[in-house]
Structure 1
Amino acid sequence: MHFRIRDGVTLDLLPSKQFKTIGIKVDFVAPLSVDAITARALLAQVLETSTAAYPTQTALARQLSRMYGAVFGISVLKLGTKHVIRLTCSVVNEQYLNQFAEKQPLFEQAMDLLKAVIFEPLLPAGNFDAPTFTQQRQNLLAAIKSLDDDKQYLANRRVQELVFTEPAQAMSALGDTEKLGQLTATDILQTYHEMLANDDVHVAVVGDVDADRVQKSLATWPLTGRTVVDASPYYHWDARSTVTQGDDQADVVQAKLNLAYHLPVYRDDPDFLAAVVFNAAFGGTPLSLLFTNVREKASLAYYASSSYNPFTGIMGVQSGIQAKNQERVVAIIGEQLADLQAGKLSAELLHEVKASLLNARLAGLDSPQRRLTGLLNTQLTHMTEPLKSWQAKLDAITVADVQRVAQKVTLQATYCLHGGDQDAE
């Protein structure tokens, strides 16, 4: 059930008696901008920790406890050409609680809590609380730095820096440490007001709750209409004719070899589902060619997998290797792609990866969070696919379809994060 609340403000409701909880998601969506990513990430940190009514994290935690262990959080993410500040709250459906005696049902309490977080932040003297701002800026700095402790994440970001000329596409959704150090509470206040006034707002609810009840609660939120700019969420870029190579030395025993490919098939492309199947067969599942031939048969990788982003037209390969084997691993990965480009895909593997994708889709229906998350994709792309229709399309995909997609793939960059002499043996 989809409702337009105001210009730029929508509500999606997934009524279901399947779950014992009611899940709420609120997405504030803005164009992806390298200048705004860090400020929006810091804003999310500040909003998550305090409100005028609950001025400390302890006070907020106590309120969640009073709501029978409600779960609340704010996160940020990048989706193609969009940056998203996402608030989530999950509460128990009170019909499953014995002798529930609250005057206000838990769903309404959750909506009021989200309202307080969004519209009633802690603003003493008209600006964000200084100690809260300073602490959360420090926490975000630590979070950004900790990302680089994950060497596979670091290698993936570095290979994207080699590919993308647009810095925002390579930057973490948490932002940049240099920019973070320059931000003030006044900057974040301006970002907050811009978010409330200009961001597209997508509210979604899943659980045993009816539309009237949801709309009544949402009607108390002071959301104003905003200019709707229906810009494409897809980031299009041109492939290069040469492969860019990079490497760095770090304190690692196991080298991280990442490859980036141009895969110009987006979510709205007729070949989208064939691209999903291609990625699953290439390296996206434990059944894949990369897992079987690079890790299992050749024993040249501790792990080897691929991932496909239909909003940015990029496919990445991630592997953990001994640095001395880099050339051999790159060659064997290239052989697996060449085989798919030549149509060398067994009927058995095609059947198995299709079954794996179907199982993953069915499993997602049992997850309230995954169902809520999928709704934003639907909003941004204006595309939805009922399960039966999707399954019929999946069943119909042939080796020739996978081959056609594979032939569109071109290697753009390789990057190896290695330990120098440490991983030479």
Structure 2
Amino acid sequence: MSIQLTEGVNLHIMPTEKYKTVRIVIKFRAPLDKKTITKRALLSSLLETNSKKYPTQTALRSELSNLFGASFGSSVTKKGAFHVLTLSLNVVNEKYLTMSDSILAKSIDFLKEIIFNPNVTNEHFNQATFVREKENLVDYYDSITDDKQTYANLELQKLFFEEDDQKIPSIGIKEDLAEITEDSLYHYYKKMLQQDQVDIYVLGAIDEDQLVKQFKEFSFESRKLKQKDLFYTPSNAKEIKIKIEQQEIKQAKFNLGYTTPIFYLQENYYAGQLFNGLFGGFPHSKLFVNVREKESLAYYASSSLDTFRGMMIVQTGIDSKKMEKVKEIVTLQLKEMQTGNFTEEDIYQTKQMLKNQLLQSEDNSSAVIERTYSNQLAKNTIMSIEEWMENIEKVTKEEIIGIANLVHLKATFFLSEEVK
């Protein structure tokens, strides 16, 4: 059940007895903008840390303990042409408690405090909190260099995308962080509350009428939404962008970025899922079997799709001296897909693995909400698991071959060991 609390703010109630907890997720969505990505990342950290009523991390954690060990967190991510800031709270299902006080009602009050009463004085975020979270974000940015696979992935995206909005990771960048002040971030926070599309999800054993009544007390104002396409469609490369970087590393990273016509729940989506599963998504895929197992050219080799931005990434961890051979074998595997060199048994196995993957995700309440949110963004409706499986089952070999022939290499990033 979905209810509009005010224009641009929707409450989605998902009653179920399946879980021992109730999960509340609040998503703030805004058009992707280079100028605000880092602000939103820092704001996410500040909102998670404390509030006016709970001015320290200790006080906030103490309140979560009072809510029978509720877990609370925040995150930021990209959805195509949008940036999403998420607050989530997981609290025990009241039927497992003997006390009469409503833990769920208190949990919603907690979120109301976090969202509308941040730790602010005279339109400035608390300086000590602001400085600490800013330093933590700097430390995180610096740590990316040590995580070589993440680093290689982000460098590939800088090559792959033309627009700065898409090049910058969802967590922002260090260069933009320096310009943010306590007051500038507070003024952006107010703008976010007034202008972002807000979607609230509550999943679990719940009293629907009580939920609606309580969330209607949240002081969100009506907001007009800017019309913008959800999906980002990358342009095909006139020539492949190539970057090689040397660092003192033990295992080289060779990543390849491809444009695809595969977008979430759109025309080519289901055939695209089969293509990716056969190409590099599962242990029986061509990349895993031929690059890693048969040729022993890689410590790992896999592919993944970003179905909101029309991108497929192939990730490999290799010996620096074998890059050209790895590139040759990866290219050959794509050609094998394009010519249909895979069996009906391969297709059947991939369909079963995709369906099992989806069924397993049903055990995770967070994954269920995320899928529902993506459904509503892409189709303005909720697709049942049964319908999803039926669409997967209908995919033919010819459709998979057709998709494979619409996948084009656009950029490669090679992180190699230093030549001595």
Question: Is 1:372 paired with 2:374?
Answer: no
Contact 1:358–1:391 (Cα < 8 Å) also in 2: yes
**Aligned residue in 2 for 1:128:** 125
Amino acid at match of 2:386: K
- Equivalent position SS for 1:330: helix
Please list the CA deviations of residues 75-117 of structure 1 after superposition, one character each: whole Å capped at 9, or x if unmatched. 11111111111000010012112x3243xx1111111111000
Residue in structure 2 matched with residue 52 of structure 1 by the alignment: 52
CA–CA distance in 1 between the matches of 2:245 and 2:332? 25
Would you say how many aligned residue pairs link Structure 1 and Structure 2? 419
Question: How far apart are 1:396 and its partner, in Å?
Answer: 1.2
1:171-207 CA distance string (max 9 Å, x none): 1211111110111011101110110000000000100
Q: Say whether residues 1:117 and 2:120 are aligned partners.
A: no
Structure 1 portions without partners, runs of 5+: none
- The residue that corresponds to 1:290 in the other structure is 287
Question: Contact 2:261–2:268 (CA<8 Å) still a contact in 1?
Answer: no
Question: What is the CA distance between 1:268 and its match in structure 2?
Answer: 4.7
Which residue of 251, 267, 272 maps to 2:248?
251
TM-score of the superposition, structure 2-length normalised? 0.97
Counting only pairs closer than 5 Å after superposition, residues 307-326 of structure 1 correspond to structure 2 as 307-326=304-323
1:184 aligns with 2:165: no
Q: Distance in 1 between matches of 2:265 and 2:386?
A: 19
Who is 2:257 aligned against? 260
**Separation in 1, partners of 2:66, 2:383:** 39
CA displacement 1:6-55 (0-9 Å, x = unmatched):
11111111110011100000000000101100111111111111111100
Q: How big is the alpha-carbon RMSD for the aligned residues of Structure 1 and Structure 2?
A: 1.2
Alignment correspondent of 1:194: 191
Residue of 339, 354, 357 corresponding to 2:354 = 357
Letter of the 2:252 partner, please give it.
Answer: A
Contact 1:242 1:412 in 2 (8 A): yes
The residue that corresponds to 1:168 in the other structure is 165
State the percentage of identical aligned residues.
Answer: 36
SS at match of 1:421: coil
CA distance, structure 2, for counterparts of residue 328 and residue 110 of structure 1: 56
For 1:19 and 1:268, the matched residues in 2 are separated by 27
Is the contact made by 1:80 and 1:233 (CA closer than 8 Å) also made in structure 2?
Answer: yes
The residue number in structure 1 matching 2:398 is 400
TM-score normalised per structure 1: 0.96
Distance 1:285 1:384 in 2: 27
- Higher deviation after alignment, 262-271 or 194-203: 262-271
Q: Which position in structure 1 is the counterpart of 2:99? A: 100
Write the distance in 1 (CA, Å) between the matches of 2:128 and 2:190. Answer: 20
Q: Deviations over 1:306-334 (max 9, x none)?
A: 01011100100000001111111011001
How far is 1:229 from its partner? 2.6
Aligned counterparts of 2:72 and 2:176: Cα–Cα separation in 1: 28
Q: In the TM superposition, what is the alpha-carbon distance from 1:383 to its structure 2 partner? A: 4.5
Structure 1 counterpart of 2:131, one-letter code: T
Deviations 1:139-174 (A, max 9, x none): 111112212221001111111111111112121211
Return the match for 2:222 from 205, 222, 225.
225
Cα distance between partner residues in 2 of 1:186 and 1:251: 41
Q: Single out whichever of 9-18 and 377-386 deviates more from structure 2.
A: 377-386
Tell me how far 1:67 sits from its aligned partner: 0.7
State the 1:378 CA deviation: 2.0
Partner Cα distance (2:111, 2:385) in 1: 32
> Is contact 1:9–1:202 with CA below 8 Å preserved after alignment?
yes
Is the 1:32–1:82 contact (alpha carbons within 8 Å) kept by the matching residues of 2?
A: yes
- In the other structure, the counterpart of 2:148 is 151
Distance 1:124 1:206 in 2: 35
Matches of 2:402 and 2:24 in 1, distance apart?
40
Verify: 1:238 aligned to 2:243, yes or no.
Answer: no
CA distance in 2, matches of 1:336, 1:217: 55
In structure 1, what is the equivalent of residue 26 of structure 2?
26
Offset at residue 241 of structure 1 (A): 2.7
**Is the contact between residue 44 and residue 76 of structure 1 (CA under 8 Å) also seen in structure 2?**
yes
SS at match of 1:204: strand
Deviation at 1:388, TM superposition (A): 1.7
